[in-house]
Amino acid sequence: MTEPIKIDIWSDVACPWCYIGKRKLENGIEAYSSDGEALPVEIEYHSYELSPETPVDFEGDEYDFLAAKGYPREQLEGMLTRVTSIASDVGLDYDYDHLKHTNTVKAHQLIHYAKAHGRQLDMKERLLKAYFVDGRHVGHVSDLADLAAEIGLDRDDVIRSLEADEYLADVRADQAEAQRLGIQGVPFFVLDGKYGVSGAQDAAVFADVLRQVQASRVEVGA
């Protein structure tokens, strides 16, 4: 059986470009997979916190959050309109009016929990949609457990895991690996352990990189 192309993705739940990049990657994989000789693709998500200092209960809206980060308030409306438009182009209905800023370390632990139970990709998708589209809180243990239960995970066991910080070491290991690789922003994609793609590139870019990875395997006799 041909070895799949592995895509490791560093991403944050609270990153608008990460959700957009996820959709563009998925579309790129679909385009690549339509090739007759395409290889299977395997995806794994890794933790990256853009704003680890954010409190679980942030007081304020998106404008307050970005202004505190140093963005001029007079530019924010245009920025958010642009991001919302780009998200819409890939079928995502961002709702910044109801978005709830929070610390994402527990959400990252939940993604690792879901990985251990074979549901990482489903959990990642649910968390991103909850945050950017549904206006749900993704920082409280009880809210995270509700979202986990929606995809079929054991709510009580999720609470146990998150309250015990069962997967915090895994989150920190992902972050340490990002630092080792020199990753300074997300989304960041590593294909086959050696090809890096930074940012929410167009689907065609991902499809082309996948074809290049496959071609490079043929060249080295993989």
Q: What is the DSSP string of 11-70?
A: E-TT-HHHHHHHHHHHHHHHHHHTSTTPPPEEEEEEE--S-TT--SS--S-HHHHHHHTT
CB atoms near residue 194 (< 10 Å):
8
Which domains does the chain carry?
A: 5-220 (3.40.30.10)
Q: Using CA atoms, how far apart are residues 34 and 28, in angstroms rounded to an integer? A: 10
CB atoms near residue 23 (< 10 Å):
18
Confidence of residue 220 (pLDDT cuts 50, 70, 90): low
Give residue 218's pLDDT.
80
What tokens appear for 116 in the block? 């251990």
Q: Rounded to two decimals, what is the model's pTM?
A: 0.96
**Whether residue 222 has pLDDT greater than 70:** no
Mean pLDDT of the chain: 96
Give residue 89's pLDDT.
98
Q: What percent of the chain has pLDDT over 90?
A: 95
Taking a C-beta distance cutoff of 8 angstroms, is the pair 218, 37 a contact?
no
Taking a C-beta distance cutoff of 8 angstroms, is the pair 16, 151 a contact?
no
Q: Using CA atoms, how far apart are residues 120 and 165, in angstroms rounded to an integer? A: 17
- The model's pLDDT over 148-161, given as tens digits with 9 standing for 90+, comes to 999 999 999 999 99
**Whether residue 1 has pLDDT greater than 60:** no
Pairing of strands 41-47, 5-11: parallel
Taking a C-beta distance cutoff of 8 angstroms, is the pair 30, 40 a contact?
no
Beta bridge mates, 195: 191
3-state secondary structure of 190: strand
